[in-house]
Structure 1
Amino acid sequence: MPAPLLVRGAPPALPSLSIMRVTHRPLTTVALALSLFMAALEMTVVSTAMPTVVGELGGIQSYAWVFTAYMLASTVTVPIYGKLSDLYGRKPILLFGIVLFLVGSIASGFSASMNMLIAFRTLQGLGAGAMQPVSLTVVGDLYTKEERARVQGVFSGVWGLAGLLGPLTGGLLVKYLSWHWVFFINVPVGLCTIALLLGFFHERIESRPQKLDFAGAALLSAGVVALLFGVQGTDQSYLWLPVAAALLVAFVFVERKVADPVIPMDLFKIPAIAISAAAGALFSAAMFGATTYVPLYVQGVLGGSPTLAGGMITPMIVGWPLASLVAGRLLLRTGYRPLIVGGLGLAVLGTGLLALLLEPGASILVPEIAMGMFGVGLGFSATALLIAVQTSVGWELRGVATASNMFFRTIGGAVGVGLMGGVLVSHLLRDPTVPLSAANELLGPEHGRGLPPELLATMNGALGAGLSINFWIICAFAVAAFAAGLFFPRVDRSPAASLSVAEGAAPH
């Protein structure tokens, strides 16, 4: 990995580093916070705009792929970018990721079809795969354990601010300009981030012999893509499941043989890491499912505006970082298990409210309260799970253990959203006499008022029924995560470890 950075306010540097330019920690931290702000804002503004996008471009059958393509691309590249940052330094890899993210954002904004949007969202995800993990790695390089709790407070505030601004901004852009602009708003933020990194972040790179595990990365990518095709719910999609199983088994075999694997399999012999990976994948499937389909229900079934639909995510995104901050301070007194079990239990209650009470004619308070409970529960449990992972290994494995935990969370989210997309499409295709274009019009600015009343009622019922099943699937994922949390082992805690509020504890 790169040699220690020379930073303003840090302990005296070694003489060999004295000729280096000085990294300005505060302004570099601002750049890192802006990088995370782009990722957080992306989640809220795109969810706000997507029902309107479908109303204009059509292609509701591909609705889930706008999200899963982004998540898949960002997920499979996380370990690769981590290796590259060790070889070539944090700064060039982070800058590359931001530039690729901005190119994908601009291209997404100019999309003229759903297929184009999915392709450019994939490009955007390829850049996002570097932004969050490398930013958090730089935080680990710049700050001591005791300082990270304070920095985490700043980053939690960034996620909360994005959660408040995203739905409002996305709704206003959709209403007064067009949905295309939700992809353009990150451009000035990204350019400012690049300027700060170029001017104030400096590092010295020490090359070390290391080989990228291209075979493992290729097998993992192909296996996850096959898995996503397999959960789409169409007649032929299930044929992909044995292909996915074979590819993932081959991936595990390769990872056990190579000297420097993408994901070291020995990590999962540690119970805390194995349980955290399972629980993280399950609650992320629930989380990404909720952020994808609750806004669609509010706009498509309840007839809410894009701003109102996107605002359903705000209680979760604000509640998560606030609960994360509290969790970091409770760990010394409570230990991990109460926060994990209690937080996941609260998440079950929140998703249960969605499944039981979110129906046609329901009050808008139902999804707001449910998403708030869900976010607070995940803030407690996800923070405790990640800190437990970091304290289960030594410094030399902490980075890869944290990255692996993030990897399983995002994979769980991508598979969960893909599965629920298949359920939704199967319901919309159940009646062959009803065209999918009617569902697209239902999400348009007129909310399907131009459709015949009988067709409008049929499509509204099919959309509502499919989404209602998805809410039960979301609840089932939350229950499974809670069950996994019950098996979490007792992990020793130390004051220093507990002070280090886990990087990446905000939703991602």
Structure 2
Amino acid sequence: MRRTHRGLTVVALLLGMFLAAMEMTVVSTAMPSVVGELGGLALYAWAFAAYMLTATVSVPIYGKLADLKGRKVVMLFGLALFVASSIACGMARSMEALVAARALQGLGAGAIQPVTLTIAGDLFEPEERARIQGVFGAVWGLAGLVGPLLGGAIVHLASWRWVFWLNVPFGLGSALVLALVYHERPERHAHRLDVAGAALLSIAVVSALLAVRSPATGLLALPLGAVALAAFLAVERRAPEPLLPLDLFRDRVIAVSSAANALLGAAMLGMVTFVPLWVQSVLGGTPTQAGSAIAPMAVGWPICSALSGRLLPRTGYRALVRAGMGLTAVAAGALALLLRPGVPLLVPQALAFAYGAGMGLASTPLVIAVQASVPWNRRGVATATTMFFRTIGGTLSVGVLGGVLAHALASGGADGALVSRLLGPERASIDAGVLAPLAGALQGAMGRIFAAVAVIAGAAFAVGLRFPRLALAARTPERAGAPPAPDRP
């Protein structure tokens, strides 16, 4: 079998991961302009939620398919689907078409992240893996920083459609290099795919998102979601390889960490999604300014994540978790109080940095505590489970807050078509007598959203206060056969 060119393979993997990681933040600054052209403000949040939902529920499926069918074929499929759906996103002529294309794009991204890390694990020896995983982590952080600014610049200089179309040459380049230089060993591992669990969870989440759109849909969606959730839990209890291993939640550290991650994800995505909309609609800022309003979060997060890792041996887990969640709650509360018409752009920028700093302080001890709470052979699934909750929390948050936005605008009598014009180039042509009430209606709606985000962040802090006392040396068995540690208070 031909030898794999390791260097070129890593470059191709980094490029693919960068595209998938950047997609959420680059789109967040483009979406107000999308609504300005296509209309459909009521579906604003669905463009985010659809992508996140399909990416989240498909990740474990793709991970197991990579063992069943091989890494290369799954990775190339994911890249092909991501590129094709990016083209479809850029060609969308309605918000409904864009949401559908974003759901397909999420299915492509769901393959890229886990298979990229799996291939990296195959290519490098154990002593080299920490270094290369650090490189992938740095690329993920860089994508979070560059995405908002790049999205704003593309919209300002060209069109929002190029935010999606620029994925095409880079995605094709990554796929071509992998096809030519990556040659995997023909090893296969048997797995059982939890397709039923993924489908039922998707139905439950989509039903929850539909329930907030209107009372009529809520009457149908809520019972359907409840039935789907109950069926999902029943399936997971019996599944040989469940999407969500329910037995993990008997451990208090994992249960509290999962709840905290869900609320942190909800607070984070609420901020990333709606602050750019506020900057463009209420402040009348440019897409570039909207991107700069949230970019500092991607600076504060890695700085304080690294700081948290250094402080952990001295402070322990609980102090850092509480400090990080407390800082995030304060930043979210300040967003709700201070984001008013006429506020300098420096205010959301400073609060975004504080937001990221709090997330960074809390996320590192949460992950390490979870990994220390399970045997070696369950660390992967335990870590993935808590990250799963962060993404699901963000998905539900964005969808529900989008429903709050639509309901607030409708109850305030704001005309949807006029509000969409407020976000596009036609803003300058709107009469001042019409513009002021529209901006006021949006400010009122956004105020409700930021208040809800503050409540979510406060709930995360309350959960953080329940984080158990855990010594750094507690429960760190290195292999599956290690005896369990005694329960913690």
Partner residue, 1:165: 146
- Identify which range, 157-166 or 276-285, moves more after superposition: 157-166
The structure-2 alpha-carbon separation of the partners of 1:199 and 1:55, relative to structure 1 and needing over 3 Å to count, comes to: same
Structure-2 residue corresponding to 1:478: 457
2:13 counterpart of 1:32: yes
Cα distance in 1 for residues equivalent to 2:7 and 2:303: 23
Cα gap change, 1:495 to 1:99, in 2 (>3 Å): farther
Letter of the structure 2 residue corresponding to residue 489 of structure 1:
P
Q: Superposed, which structure 2 residues align to 1:372-451 within 5 Å?
A: 372-432=353-413, 434-447=414-427, 449-451=428-430
Q: Alpha carbons of 1:215 and 1:42: their partners in 2 closer, same or farther (altered >3 Å)? A: closer
Tell me which amino acid in the other structure corresponds to 2:448. I
Q: Deviations over 1:244-276 (max 9, x none)?
A: 122111111111112222221111112222111
Matched, 1:348 2:322: no
1:165 is aligned with what amino acid?
V
Q: 1:363 & 1:198 partners in 2: Cα distance?
A: 49
1:376-428: CA deviation from partner (whole Å, max 9, x where unpaired): 11112122212222232233222222222222111111110111111111111
1-structure distance, mates of 2:13, 2:473: 28
CA distance in 2, matches of 1:23, 1:256: 41
Which segment is superposed worse, 155-164 or 411-420? 155-164
Deviation at 1:60, TM superposition (A): 0.7
* Range with greater deviation from structure 2 (339-348 or 130-139): 130-139
Matched, 1:74 2:55: yes
1:285 deviates by 0.6
TM-score by length of 2: 0.91
Is contact 1:48-1:306 (8 Å) kept? yes
2:261 maps to 1:261: no
Paired with 1:380 and 1:247, the residues of 2 have a C-alpha distance of: 35
- 8 Å Cα contact 2:36-2:424 kept in structure 1: yes
Aligned position for 2:448: 469
1:215 aligned partner? 196
Contact residue 210 and residue 217 of structure 2 kept, 8 A: no
Q: Percent identity?
A: 54
What's the CA shift for 1:59? Answer: 0.7
After superposing the two structures, state which structure 1 stretch, 321-330 or 178-187, moved more. Answer: 321-330
Rounded to whole Å, the distance in 2 between the matches of 1:332 and 1:155 is 25
How do 1:81-92 residues align onto structure 2 when only pairs under 5 Å count?
81-92=62-73
> Equivalent residue for 2:86?
105
Match of 1:278 among 259, 266, 269: 259
**CA distance change for structure 1 residues 194 and 335 in 2, over 3 Å: closer, same or farther?**
farther
Cα pair 1:23 1:200 within 8 Å, conserved:
yes
TM-fit CA distance, 1:496? 13
Is the Cα contact below 8 Å between 1:428 and 1:459 reproduced in 2?
no
Per the alignment, residue 310 of structure 1 pairs with: 291
Which amino acid in structure 2 is aligned with residue 469 of structure 1?
Answer: R
Q: Using the alignment, how far apart are the partners of 1:496 and 1:274 within structure 2?
A: 16
SS of 2:105's equivalent?
helix
CA distance in 1, matches of 2:316, 2:174: 37
Give 1:130's match in structure 2, choosing from 100, 107, 111. Answer: 111
Q: Deviations for 1:79-121, whole angstroms, at most 9, x for unmatched residues?
A: 2112212222333222221211111111101111111111111
Gaps of 5+ in 1: 1-19, 498-508
1:44–1:214 CA distance, 2 compared to 1 (3 A) = closer
1:319 aligned to which of 300, 312, 327: 300
* Contact 1:231/1:238 (<8 A) preserved: no
Counterpart in the other structure of 1:54? 35
Does structure 1 retain, via aligned residues, the 8 Å contact 2:212–2:404? no
Give unmatched runs, 5+ long, in structure 2.
477-489
The one-letter amino acid of 2:458's match is: V
TM-superposed deviation, 1:229: 1.1
Q: Which residue of 1 aligns with 2:468?
A: 489
Greater mean deviation of Cα atoms: 167-176 or 268-277: 167-176
Alignment TM-score, normalising by the size of structure 1:
0.88
Aligned to 1:455: 434
Tell me how far 1:123 sits from its aligned partner.
0.7
Q: How many residues align?
A: 477
